[in-house]
Chains A and B, each alone.
Chain A
Amino acid sequence: MPPTTTEASKRDKRAIGVSWAVLAAATVLAWLLTPGESEATTTVGKELVAVIVVLAAIKGRLIIRYFMEVRHAPRWLRHTTDAWLAILWTTLLTLYLI
């Protein structure tokens, strides 16, 4: 079977590459936002935690949609994975804030 490169697989490769860059950038961004170990504050601010949660949810969705290829998957799977992300992060954030 000779190697075949189609338009679609080129597009997939580009999408995966861009996803990786966004994921790495989001990780580093979350690091820069979080105060260092020596800082005296006991907990990070509420706004900051909200930002961290949103970044993590976006990262999760990128992994699911682009790495796991759920964007090509049937609707039930897209909805199930979205529901998992939404319920998990909403619950975790709520529990953190109360």
Chain B
Amino acid sequence: MTAPSPHPPSPQPPVSTTARTEAQGGDRRLPGDIDMWVMVLGDLFFFGCYFIVYMVFRAQSVEEFSAAQRHLHIGVGVVNTVVLLTSSLFAARAVIAVREGALDGARRLLWATGGCGVLFVLLKIYEWHDGLSHGRTIHDEFFSYYYVFTGLHLVHLALGLLVLGVALRELRAVGRQRPTIVEQSVLFWHMIDLLWVVIFALLYLMR
């Protein structure tokens, strides 16, 4: 797998603004903190296990799964993906804004992130409602996975909104902002985005 870098991967010097915690040794630093990485890596591992279990069960009844998967609206899924990707763009920009000391900008960007998150939830509710009103319930094996995975993802998204709220509160306090809090929150948000990219490909596209 090659790195699809948008520009040549030149070794970059560490960004040293007053707000950015310096690397311990060398020009490498951990974004956020180790605690949040324990969460993110653990979550990725366990979600990975869930996805593999889904694929194992799908392999046992490909026809049924594939037929059910074709009921999903890829269009809604694409819009959902782009909404979440955009929210991540705002979140990533917010971290840079905090490092630059542009706190008002960072606050606006975090609100925009949360806004996109709420939009995602609304689209998901519409999709669930549409599915249920067409009788696609958990009696269908594929849809049981669909509801569990998207539901679990929504739980994470709700947690993510809470965590964004923590970051916003941190930015409100005058003069004692800790950029690492914003970094940690945003890290969690990106993980939600990353998991959705896998869920989208797995449930909507690989049919």
Contacts and interface: CB of A to CB of B under 8 A. Distances in A.
Check A-B contact in the complex, CB < 8 A. yes
A63 B4 contact: no
Contact of B15 (A2, A9, A70): A9
Interface stretch (B66-74, B141-149, B158-166): B66-74
A56 B16 CA distance: 33
A15 B6 contact: yes
Contacts of B193: 63, 67
A33 to B, nearest CB: 8
B198 interface: yes
A34 B205 contact: yes
A13 B45 CA distance: 29
Interface string B17-58: 111000000001111000001001100110010011001101
Given A30-B205, A92-B202, A60 B51 contact: no
A27 to B, nearest CB: 5
B12 A73 contact: no
Nearest to B57: A95
B94 to A, nearest CB: 11
Contact of A95 (B9, B52, B190): B52
B185 interface: no
Contacts of B62: 42-43
Nearest to A51: B205
Given A24-B85, A70-B31, A19 B1 contact: no
Contacts, number: 181
Contacts of A72: 12, 14, 28-29, 31
Most chain A CB within 10 A, of B88, B191, B205, is at: B205
Contacts of A30: 201, 205
Contacts of B93: 13, 16
Contact of A31 (B75, B100, B190): B75
Most chain B CB within 10 A, of A18, A28, A30, A55, is at: A30
B92 interface: yes
Interface in B87-108: 88-89, 91-93, 95-96, 99-102
A16 B88 CA distance: 10
Contacts of A68: 31, 40, 187, 190-191, 194
Q: Pick the 5 closest A-B CB pairs, nearest first.
A: A18-B6, A56-B201, A95-B55, A8-B15, A69-B31
Given A71-B9, A95-B58, 10 more contacts: A1-B101, A3-B102, A20-B88, A58-B4, A61-B4, A63-B190, A63-B197, A68-B190, A72-B31, A91-B52
Interface of A: 1-6, 8-9, 11-20, 22-24, 27-28, 30-31, 34, 36-37, 42-44, 49, 52-53, 55-75, 77, 80-82, 84-88, 91-92, 95-96, 98
